Amino acid sequence: MTKWSKRSSVALDEETYQISRRVGNFSEFVRECLRRWNAYETQTHVHPTETNKCYPRSKKGCCILCWPDGRPPHEEWLYFRNEFKAFPESATQYIEEKARELNKTPHFPIPQESTFKKTRERPSKGGVKAFLGRLFNRK
């Protein structure tokens, strides 16, 4: 934490606690959610450019107002910037489609059971004795 960080606590119920355990860095997740909510609520763009879209690889993050489907490939962004001057409407449609293509997520249903069942077990290697036997029997 930096010296400018502020601590805050969040009250979670059992369901949201379990979800938070799978998120990874919970604090970073919450900060990113707050930034996105603020951008949406205030309609504040992250990194405006001479086009009608923010720079998708800004250090501040990807603008959710300009890139709701995720950011496009960098090469496509460069192409878009060149084409936008001549064909603003078609260039905008093009770059939005490229962003959608890059950020397609597979259908992944969320299990509704309260406990998750393991679908795969780790295969047994036979223990320490078997490992040592394999190690010394190498030719």
Any domain includes 65: yes
Any domain includes 35: yes
| Pair (90, 52) in one structural domain | yes
Q: Are 65 and 43 in contact (CB under 8 A)?
A: yes
Q: What is the pTM of this model?
A: 0.60
Residue 58 lies in domain: 47-104
Can you give the pLDDT at residue 1? 55
Of 69, 72, 48, 52, which Cα lies nearest the Cα of 60? 48
- Residue ranges of the chain with pLDDT lower than 50? none
Any domain includes 119: no
Can you give the pLDDT at residue 16? 92
Compute the distance between CA of residue 134 and CA of residue 131 in angstroms, rounded to an integer: 5
Q: For residue 91, what are the contacts with CB-CB under 8 A and spacing of at least 6?
A: 51, 80, 83, 84
**Over the stretch 110-134, which tens digit does the pLDDT of each residue have?**
666 666 565 656 666 677 777 777 7
Tell me the two tokens of residue 30: 């919450």
Count up the domains in the chain and report the number: 2
